């Protein structure tokens, strides 16, 4: 494994900030914040960034505990911009991200501290996540590499923002979260950070809960997602081809189209499947081989 993932005993972690992007998330935010306040290892900073929700859509951001700092943005810039605003406002040396509809088990930040202590040269750590569907059923995704490297992250979505903590120096080194995209911003951030700063060790216990059902209205916009993948891969083409060779950015788009094919179904899904095959073999088949 890379040098950044050689364990060191008796290291001491710096302060940890929690950054929560918020956009019209009143329905779930109280539960999200309660999970932060219940951490056995208390955060040193809690920053909530309201992405121009409007007064009627952020009622839960009033009368918060004194430890919580709220930043209200005047214009909606997307979740990546909100996270970056929180990073710039934080003074801690490590930043844990939590979306406003997800939640943590009480031991999450303690495990974060333990893992980053053990690997003081690692730029970040990532967690096993329990995905909750609209009906409330949870599925823990435990089949993750012990150390997540850029090559793996380019192809597979192992990391979720709510289960990702990064050192501030690493965030600054890669220029932070992109402010110019509404989706795929997490993939873009993760692969840039892992590429430039090294692999991230896994926090194996499933202490992070991701509420997938709340995003169904977004996931239904298949064409918009494909277009954002196209834009992302155009921007990050050199990075993808660095690991997989010429034409691999096109094949990563083929993988995204294949994913839309299985999710959309019907005539639209068939069209995605045909378009994907026209671009070549999906990139994840290369990783599997």
In angstroms and rounded to an integer, the radius of gyration of the C-alpha atoms of the chain is: 19
Collapse the DSSP code of 29 into the 3-class scheme (helix H, G, I; strand E, B; otherwise coil) and give the result: helix
| Degrees, nearest 5: CA angle 224-98-13 | 135
Beta strand pairing call for 94-97 and 16-22: parallel
267 φ/ψ sector (left φ>0, alpha ψ -120 to 50, else beta): alpha
Dihedral angle, C-alpha 243, 180, 224, 262, nearest 10 °: 30
Q: What is the pLDDT of residues 151-204, one digit of tens each?
A: 999 998 899 999 999 999 999 999 999 988 767 899 999 999 999 999 999 999
Dihedral, 268, 274, 275, 276 alpha carbons, nearest 10 = 110
Query: Whole-model pTM?
Result: 0.89
Tokens of 260: 């839309």
How far CA 8 is from CA of 13, 32, 43, 142, 272, in Å, comes to: 12, 33, 23, 25, 48
* pLDDT tens, position by position, 33-53: 999 999 999 999 999 999 999
Which of 80-108 are b and which e, b meaning 16 or more Cβ less than 10 Å from the residue's Cβ?
bbbbbbbbeebebebbbbbbbbbbbbebb
pLDDT in tens, the chain (289 residues): 455 666 666 666 689 999 999 999 999 999 999 999 999 999 999 999 999 999 999 999 998 999 999 999 999 999 999 999 999 999 999 999 999 999 999 999 999 999 999 999 999 999 999 999 877 788 888 899 999 999 999 998 899 999 999 999 999 999 999 988 767 899 999 999 999 999 999 999 999 999 886 544 444 466 677 777 888 888 899 999 999 999 999 888 888 888 777 666 677 667 766 777 787 788 877 765 5
């Amino acid at each position: 494994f890379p040098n950044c993932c050689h364990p060191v005993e008796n290291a001491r972690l710096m302060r940890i900030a929690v950054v929560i992007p918020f956009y019209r998330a009143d329905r779930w935010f109280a539960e999200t914040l309660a999970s932060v306040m219940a951490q056995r290892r208390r955060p040193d900073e809690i920053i909530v960034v309201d992405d121009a929700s409007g007064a009627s859509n952020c009622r839960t951001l009033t009368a918060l505990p004194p430890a919580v700092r709220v930043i209200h943005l005047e214009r909606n810039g997307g979740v990546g911009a909100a996270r970056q605003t929180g990073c710039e406002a934080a003074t801690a040396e490590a930043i844990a991200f939590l979306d406003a509809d997800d939640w943590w088990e009480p031991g999450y930040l303690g495990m974060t501290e333990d893992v980053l202590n053990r690997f003081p040269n690692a730029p970040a750590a990532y967690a096993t996540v329990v995905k909750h569907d609209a009906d409330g059923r949870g599925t823990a995704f435990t089949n993750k590499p012990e150390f997540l490297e850029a090559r793996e992250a380019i192809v597979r979505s192992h990391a979720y923002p709510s289960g990702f903590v990064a050192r501030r120096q690493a965030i600054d080194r890669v220029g932070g979260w992109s402010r110019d995209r509404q989706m795929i911003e997490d993939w873009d951030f993760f692969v840039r950070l892992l590429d430039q700063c090294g692999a991230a060790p896994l926090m194996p216990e499933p202490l992070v809960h991701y509420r997938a059902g709340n995003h169904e209205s977004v996931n239904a916009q298949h064409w918009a997602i494909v277009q954002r993948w196209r834009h992302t891969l155009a921007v990050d083409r050199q990075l993808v081809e660095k690991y997989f060779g010429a034409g691999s950015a096109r094949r990563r788009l083929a993988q995204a189209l294949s994913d839309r094919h299985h999710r959309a179904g019907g005539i639209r899904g068939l069209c995605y499947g045909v378009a994907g095959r026209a671009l070549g073999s999906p990139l994840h088949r290369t990783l599997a081989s």
